[in-house]
Amino acid sequence: MIEVRELTRAFGKLTAVDRVSFSVNKGEIFGLVGPDGAGKTTTLRMLCTLMLPGSGEARVAGLDVTRHVDEVKDRIGYMAQRFGLYGDLTVGENMRFYADLFGVGSTGREALTAKLLEMTRMTPFRERPAAKLSGGMKQKLALMCTLLHKPEVLFLDEPTNGVDPVSRRDFWAILEQLAGEGMTVLVTTAYLDEAERCGRVALMHEGRLIRVDTPRGLKQSLPFACYEVRASDLRAARGLLRPPLAESCDFAGSVLHVFSHSSQEEVSAALRAGGLQSVEVKRITPSLEDVFIAMIRREQSRAA
C-alpha cells in the first residue's frame, strides 16, 4: 500500500530526509521511530502530498504522490500533530463539519458516526464541546474525524504526544482494530514502547533510515550482548565501559545498560579492576529503546 524509494528532501543545506526506502503492506501498522529532527514528519508530509520530494519516488495505494495528488488525498486519512478541532463545537458537530468537508453523503453517515463513537468509547461525550475534552479524548475525536471518509491508508503524526498512559493504550487498541479490519496505518512516534506494538518499525536518525524490521527482529539483530550494570559509582563505571570493552553504555534509571562483545565475567572484572565496589553485572533482553540507542551510537562512531 505504501512504496518509498530513495525519497529525499532538503531545506537549504539541511537534508531532512536522506534517500529513505521502505514499503508497507495492507493491514499493517508500520512505525517511523526516532527523536525530534529525525525526519519523520517530513517523510509523512511527502507521502500525504503536502510536500514535494526533492528526489526519489513514493506511491500510496498504487498512486504516485507527485502525479496523482487529488487521487491520493481521496484514499488517505492524515492526522497531524495539531489537528484542527473547533473548541466551541461539540464532538458531534465537529464530526458533522468534517463529514461535510470530506463530502461524505447523508446515506450511512449517522451509522458511521455511531460506529466511530462506539469504537472510541466517545458516545457519552457526543454533546460535549471539544474545548472541554481531555487530551486523550481530543485525539480520539481527531481520529474519528480523520476516518469519516473511510480512508484506505491512515497517516498519524505522533498522535499520542502528551497524552496520558491510559488514553495512549486505548488509542493503540483502536489502531489495532482498524488494522485488523484491513486498514493500513503508518504512525510516527518518539515513544519506543509504542513502537513495540507496530508490526514493523523503521528507525530514523538525522534523516536516514538505520534499520527496518519487526521489534523482535531488531532486538535479535545486534551482534553483541546487553548487560545491566550496578555499581557503587555509576558515573565512574560508565567512564570505564568504553570501546573496545563496550560498544555503548547509557543510563537506564538507576542502572547502566551496556552493549558489549565481552563476556559478563570480563565486564565485571574490568569494573572491579577500576576500583569499583558492589559490582553486579547480568545479561538482559534489551528493550527497543536500548537497541535504538545502541544503533545511533554505532552510526555516530562510524561518522566520526
**pLDDT mean over 214-231:** 90
Global pTM reads: 0.87
- Asked if residue 31 belongs to a domain, the reply is yes
User: What pLDDT shows up at residue 166?
Assistant: 86
- Asked if residue 15 belongs to a domain, the reply is yes
Any idea what the CATH number is for the domain that residue 238 is in?
A: 3.30.70.100
User: What pLDDT shows up at residue 265?
Assistant: 95
User: What pLDDT shows up at residue 81?
Assistant: 83
Number of structural domains, the chain?
Answer: 2
pLDDT averaged over every residue in the chain: 92
Q: Are residues 89 and 168 in the same domain?
A: yes
Cell of 218: 531488531
Q: Are residues 76 and 204 in the same domain?
A: yes
- Asked if residue 298 belongs to a domain, the reply is no
Cell of 260: 558489549
Residue ending a domain, choose from 214, 232, 267: 214
Residue 28: count other Cβ atoms within 10 Å of its Cβ.
Answer: 17
Q: Are residues 259 and 151 in the same domain?
A: no
- Asked if residue 297 belongs to a domain, the reply is no
- Asked if residue 177 belongs to a domain, the reply is yes
Q: Are residues 195 and 255 in the same domain?
A: no
Judge whether residue 207 has pLDDT over 90. Answer: yes
Residue ending a domain, choose from 167, 193, 214: 214
- Asked if residue 71 belongs to a domain, the reply is yes
Cell of 184: 493500513
pLDDT, one tens digit per residue, over 251-285 is 988 999 999 999 999 999 999 999 998 999 999 98
Q: Are residues 191 and 75 in the same domain?
A: yes
pLDDT, one tens digit per residue, over 100-134 is 988 888 888 899 999 999 999 999 999 999 999 99
- Asked if residue 24 belongs to a domain, the reply is yes
Q: Give me the domain span that covers residue 10.
A: 2-214
Any idea what the CATH number is for the domain that residue 206 is in?
A: 3.40.50.300
Q: Are residues 28 and 123 in the same domain?
A: yes
Q: Are residues 248 and 117 in the same domain?
A: no
Q: Are residues 115 and 179 in the same domain?
A: yes
Q: Are residues 194 and 233 in the same domain?
A: no
Q: Are residues 180 and 261 in the same domain?
A: no
* Cβ–Cβ under 8 Å, residues 33 and 292: yes
Q: Are residues 172 and 264 in the same domain?
A: no
User: What pLDDT shows up at residue 290?
Assistant: 87
Separation in Å, CA 81 to CA 29, 62, 68, 260: 18, 26, 25, 38
Judge whether residue 214 has pLDDT over 80. Answer: yes
* Cβ–Cβ under 8 Å, residues 61 and 53: no
Give percent of the chain with pLDDT exceeding 90. 74
Q: Are residues 22 and 60 in the same domain?
A: yes
* Cβ–Cβ under 8 Å, residues 190 and 159: no
Describe the strand order of the beta sheet including 255-260 as a list of residue ranges: 248-252, 255-260, 225-230, 280-283
Judge whether residue 238 has pLDDT over 70. Answer: yes
- Asked if residue 17 belongs to a domain, the reply is yes
